[in-house]
Amino acid sequence: MEALFRNVRELVERAEKEEKLISEIMIEQEMLMTDRSREDIMIQMDRNLTVMEEAVEKGLKGVHSVSGLTGGDAVLLQKYRDTGNALSGDLLLDAVSKAVATNEVNAAMGTICATPTAGSAGVVPGTLFAVQNKLNPTREQMIRYLFTAGAFGFVVANNASISGAAGGCQAEVGSAAGMASAAIIEMAGGTPQQCSEAFAITMKNMLGLVCDPVAGLVEVPCVKRNAMGAANAVVAADMALAGVTSRIPCDEVIGAMFEIGQSMPSALRETAKGGLAATPTGKWLESKIFGGAVVGSGQ
């Protein structure tokens, strides 16, 4: 089966030529590749959206992981946001807290929708439910947000990688942030080309991000990286909407991410042998969670 698009250039060209949204091209490609009806596909994405809503709601009430490494930060962030004194602005902090909420639910073995992975599941819904308050989208536009995000993730997954073990955290949270940024553009009424610029700007700023989970668990630093992925996505979307472009084309940025992932030492690709996982406190936390000899000093 020949795909409608294989890279971002083809995706944007097609959307421009046919005067369609990126989300529409993704829906059409899904129908073509999987031989399913539009209705079927829309229903499944609607269900994924509901899972995301429920996860955010649950996380904002407060959850804690079994290991005790994460939990409760989404509540802190929302309380702080309610004071009205947040320096980074209401929408940004809302996106950050909802991204954290989702990932805390994930770490606590709650139900989430992997976007594109479980460890990076907070960024897309976090930004979606924050911009929702500003842009008042219809339910269909919210579902389309996920298809637009999916279209960009699809390109990354097929041309580079969305796995931390293969490409570091730039491939997971980096991709998620780029996907979210492109989706914000479409919802805000930007052009397909601006979606591509936003993705490129976001991804450029996530390049080189290592995957160094403490004790090998998808908790530290993953939850906070989702927060920053969400922030990065919102800011890059604003930049693209302001007319800022990426000097390096989107597909080349994705290519660079893949190259960087390939040359990253394995200690920094989800093995928990380097980076934050290898700090004295990281090692101490690992031994506290899994038992065994205490390596490193810790607290």
> Which residues contact another protein (rule: CB under 8 A)?
1, 3, 6, 26, 29-30, 33-35, 41, 44-45, 47-48, 51, 65, 67, 105-119, 121, 124, 146-147, 149-151, 153-154, 157-158, 161-163, 165-166, 179, 215-219, 270-272, 289-290
How near is the Cβ of 101 to another protein at its closest, in Å?
13
Comparison of 74 and 162: residue with beta carbon closer to another protein: 162
How near is the Cβ of 58 to another protein at its closest, in Å?
11
Comparison of 52 and 201: residue with beta carbon closer to another protein: 52
How near is the Cβ of 154 to another protein at its closest, in Å?
5
How near is the Cβ of 199 to another protein at its closest, in Å?
14
- Angstrom distance (rounded) from CA 21 to CA 143: 13
- Angstrom distance (rounded) from CA 126 to CA 117: 14
- Angstrom distance (rounded) from CA 250 to CA 10: 11
Comparison of 157 and 256: residue with beta carbon closer to another protein: 157
Comparison of 92 and 213: residue with beta carbon closer to another protein: 213
- Angstrom distance (rounded) from CA 201 to CA 178: 8
Radius of gyration for the chain, computed over Cα atoms and rounded to the nearest angstrom: 19
Q: What is the Cβ-side half-sphere exposure of residue 204, based on CA atoms within 13 angstroms?
A: 17
Q: Would you tell me how many other CB atoms lie within 10 Å of the CB of residue 83?
A: 7
How near is the Cβ of 190 to another protein at its closest, in Å?
20
In the DSSP assignment, the letter for residue 64 is B
Which of 57, 61, 66, 148 lies closest to 111, judged by CA?
57
- Angstrom distance (rounded) from CA 257 to CA 298: 33
Comparison of 43 and 294: residue with beta carbon closer to another protein: 43
Comparison of 106 and 202: residue with beta carbon closer to another protein: 106
| Residues pairing with 269 in the sheet | 211
Q: Would you tell me how many other CB atoms lie within 10 Å of the CB of residue 32?
A: 13
How near is the Cβ of 49 to another protein at its closest, in Å?
9
